[in-house]
Structures are given as C-alpha cells and as structure tokens.
Amino acid sequence: MPLKPIAFATFLLAFSLSGLCQTAPGTSDTLQQHLRNAQLYMHQSRPDLAIPEFEAALALDPANVDVQGNLGVLLYFRGDLAKAAPHLRAAVKARPDLWKIQALLGLAENRLKDTGNAQTDLESALPHLKGEKVQEEVGNALIESYTEAGDLDKAASTVSVLLESQPTDPRLLMMSYRLYSDLANNAMLTLAMAAPQSAEMHQAMAIELVRHGDEAAAVANYREAIRLDPKLPGLYFQFGILLYNSTDQKLQSEAEAQFQAALAVNPQDEKAQLMLGEVAARRGDLKAAYDADARAVEMQPNDSDACTELAKILMSMNDRDKARTLLVHALEIDPMDYTAHYRLSTLDRQQGKPEEAKRELAEYKKYKDMKDKLRELFHDMRVQLDNKPEDEGGMGK
C-alpha cells in the first residue's frame, strides 16, 4: 500500500541526508560507496535503487542511525510496513528526538494493529509536529483510536491540537463540534444517573430549558438549584442573565439581586459586575452604571464588552476622549465587536470626522450582518434538532 508521493518527498526533505557519509574513521570504502550510491538515488527519487544500497550499508554498519532512519522511511512509503517498523524503531531508540520518524513508526504500528505501541509513539510525537504535514495523519490516527476506545476526552483534545495549526479547517471544526456535543450529552446522562436530584442537575436542566425557550421551567429549576446549593459556582450569574432578558417585568426586577449574589459568592466575578452596570444603565442611573462598569474594567482590562459598556456610559457623560480610548482598545481585543464599531462611528460623527464615521459604520454593518446570519443559522439548527423524531437518536447516541 504505497503512500502519497508528496508525503514521501516531504520526508526526504525533512530527514537530513547530510549525515549519510559521516562515517566513523576506518570505515570501509565499500560502506562509503553504498552510502554515496544511496544518497544519489534518493536525490534522483529512486527509492527502489536506494533501498538495496541502504540494506547493504546497514549490514556493514548496523549502528548507523541515519541508515536505519532512511531505510525505514523508504520502506514505509513503499508500503512494506512490517519491514519498515524495526528500522524506524531502531532510529528512534538511538535518537528519541526524531519526532517525524517516531510519527511514521506510530503510523506503521497502527496499520499493523500494534495498538499499544502505536498509541504511545503517536502521542509522543504529536506535540512536536506543529506545522508538519504528517501532523494531521498522526492526529487522525489518534482520534480514530480514542473514539473506538470510547475515550472522547482524548479525542477532543487531539482535535484541539490540530486546530491550533488549522483553525479554519471545516472538517476539524465539524469533528470538534461532534466530539464536544457527544461529551456534553454523555456528561448530562452521567449526571442524571449519578445525582438526579442534585443542584448541579437542576442547573444543567435550566441551561437546556433556556436553550429550548421554556423560561418558566428554567426559572423553577434555577430556584431549586439555589435552594439545594446556594454557593454553586456560576449559578447566580446564569440565573441573573435569564431574568435580565425576560419580558416579564417582575422577573426582570430580580436580576440585580442575582448578580449581587454572584459577587458575594465570587468577588472576582467580572461578568456579574458588568451586568450590574447594565442593570443600572437600564434604570437610568448613570453614576451607578459608571461605578459598576469601571470596576469591571479594573477587574478585567482586556474584556472588550467591559470596555465597550464603560465607553457607552462615558459618551452619555460627554467624556468622549476616554470613551474613544476604551473603544479603540476594545477593537484591539476583538476587531469583530460591532457594537464598538458603531459607537466609534457615533463619536467620529460627533467630532466632525465624517470619513472615519463612514468607515466604522461600514465595519459595524459587516460584522453585525455576519453575526445575525450566524444567529439565524443556529436558531434553524436548534429548531431542526428540537423537531427531530426521538427514535432517530441524537449525536450522543
């Protein structure tokens, strides 16, 4: 089963040939000739002729790491995996830092069904292969192995490693989505079986109910979770967000108390601090809004939302220079923050900068349209999933 020519060429370039003729003093002329021949044939892309030369050289100098490695590479890409593995293993044993050679060894072992050794070698090599073409093949082999064994945590972690090199790869993003969806489903099922009446279970149910638009049931579950464990991390903030966004005025009025409770449990909860500013701004209390937002920025200076919200209050207080500084910083953190673009456009217009205002407004429209389309897409996906017949099963089944 010969592999792709491009992969073979990559390994010829990646595994140095410069050491092939660096033999020990007193090495026979015959050995040096075999090495020179092998190097010539490899430069000519004639592995069929290079392999016998390497085999002859290895018979004369069994400890030569370069010969072991190159012979293993050539045999691997010719498809002789059983013959390649011992040579690759010998090279890695002599020089453990030959990560690409170890990657090939792991891939060979994987195809030879030597699962234990394959996983060990692939796991060792993967972190050192960033930017290498073989990284994806190593990652895919590990993901398949982990998935077959039901180890979704390791599979998801491996996808994350691959995404560092290919952050926009649709196949990897879809794989990540499916794995983390399966992990979430499995965690929910395990929680339901292990602690069905726990505060955590009610919190998880509330989160799902919010996703499905059942506000009343979500509120009831949040209240029960708080009753069972008043110090559960994240609980008050999540509940506060639900109440803040409610169309029920009575529920809205309870939001502030939840954010205050969140800060009582965790005084460093910057998001809860920021929401206190939102609540104050909603009721028109600019001083309280400023104090809350300023505290949020102090707690987390690189939160673009906090910078944007404080800038809004400063604009209302006619402190435009400080507002501009915050908005520029917000866009340095998140260039796609369309709210910051909009407010910066407003500032530019107020300060007599029509061209700058026009440019920022265009950026606002671009990113807002993008996020609106994503919001519609996720809404449609959620509706389709909610309407799916039960006997079809979900991703976690």
Count the domains in the chain: 2
Q: Is 213 part of a structural domain of the chain? A: no
Is residue 2 very low, low, confident or very high in pLDDT (cuts 50, 70, 90)? very low
pLDDT, mean over the chain: 88
Between residues 233 and 4, which one has the greater pLDDT? 233
Q: Are residues 14 and 136 both part of a single domain?
A: yes
Is residue 334 in some structural domain?
yes
pLDDT of 16 higher than 60: no
Averaged pLDDT for residues 16-44 = 70
Amino acid at 103: A
Is 279 within the bounds of a domain?
A: no
Domain end position, chosen among 164, 179, 194: 179
Q: Cα 177 to the chain's mean position, in Å?
A: 10
State the pLDDT at residue 386. Answer: 53
Mean pLDDT of 25-53: 85
In the numeric block, the tokens 């592995």 are attached to 47
| Eight-class DSSP state of 397 | -
pLDDT-wise least confident of 125-134, 227-236, 329-338: 125-134
Angle at 382 between CA 140 and CA 304, to 5 degrees: 80
The answer to whether residues 21 and 141 belong to one domain is yes
187 domain residue, yes or no: no
For 322-342, the pLDDT digits (tens) are 999 999 999 999 999 999 999
How far apart, in whole angstroms, are the C-alpha atoms of residue 337 and residue 13? 44
Q: Which of 179, 195, 228 is the last residue of a domain?
A: 179
Give the span between the Cα atoms of 363 and 343, in whole angstroms.
11
Question: Structure pTM?
Answer: 0.69
Is the residue at 80 inside a domain? yes
**Most confidently predicted of 110-119, 165-174, 367-376:** 110-119
For residues 174 and 294, state if they share a domain: no
Contact of 238 with 211, CB cutoff 8 Å = no
- % the chain with pLDDT above 70: 88
pLDDT digits over 292-320, tens only? 999 999 999 999 999 999 999 999 999 99
Q: Is the alpha carbon torsion for 64, 69, 74, 76 positive or negative?
A: positive
**370, 397, 396, 7: which is closest to 184 by C-alpha?**
396
Examine residue 246 and state whether it is found in any structural domain, yes or no.
Answer: no
**Residue 171 is assigned to a structural domain of this protein:** yes
Q: Locate tokens 């069929």: which residue?
A: 48
Task: Name the strand (E) or helix (H) holding 287.
Answer: helix 286-299
Q: Over 70: is that where the pLDDT of 371 sits? A: yes
Whether residue 387 is predicted with pLDDT greater than 60 in this model: the reply is no
Tokens 């060792």 found at? 124
Pick from 348, 370, 368: which is nearest to 358 by CA? 348
Rounded CA-CA distance 94/92 in Å is 5
Tokens of 1: 């089963």
Query: Nearest-5° angle of CA 371, CA 372, CA 377?
Result: 95
The enclosing domain of 110 has a CATH number of 1.25.40.10
Task: Provide the pLDDT for residue 379.
Answer: 64
pLDDT for the residue numbered 88 = 95
- In this structure, what token pair is assigned to residue 228? 């069972």
Name the most confidently modeled range: 168-182, 228-242, 381-395: 228-242
Residue 198 banded pLDDT, cuts 50, 70, 90: very high
Tens digit of pLDDT for each residue in 253-273? 999 999 999 999 999 999 999
Percent of the chain exceeding pLDDT 90 equals 74
Classify the C-alpha dihedral 119-120-124-127 as positive or negative: positive
Long-range contacts formed by 184-189: CB under 8 A, 24+ apart:
184/396, 185/394, 185/395, 185/396, 185/397, 186/152, 186/396, 189/396
How many C-beta atoms surround the C-beta of residue 222 within 10 A? 26
Does residue 193 lie in a domain region?
no
Indicate if the pLDDT at residue 380 is higher than 80.
Answer: no
Q: In this predicted structure, what is the pLDDT of residue 39?
A: 87
> Residue range 162-172: average pLDDT?
89
For 361, the domain range is: 289-375
pLDDT category, 21, cuts 50, 70, 90? very low
List the structure tokens of 225: 């979770």
- Where among 148, 179, 210 does a domain terminate? 179
Residue 27 — very low, low, confident or very high, per pLDDT cuts 50/70/90?
low
**Which of the 8 DSSP states describes residue 221?**
H
**Degrees, nearest 5: CA angle 287-292-293:** 100
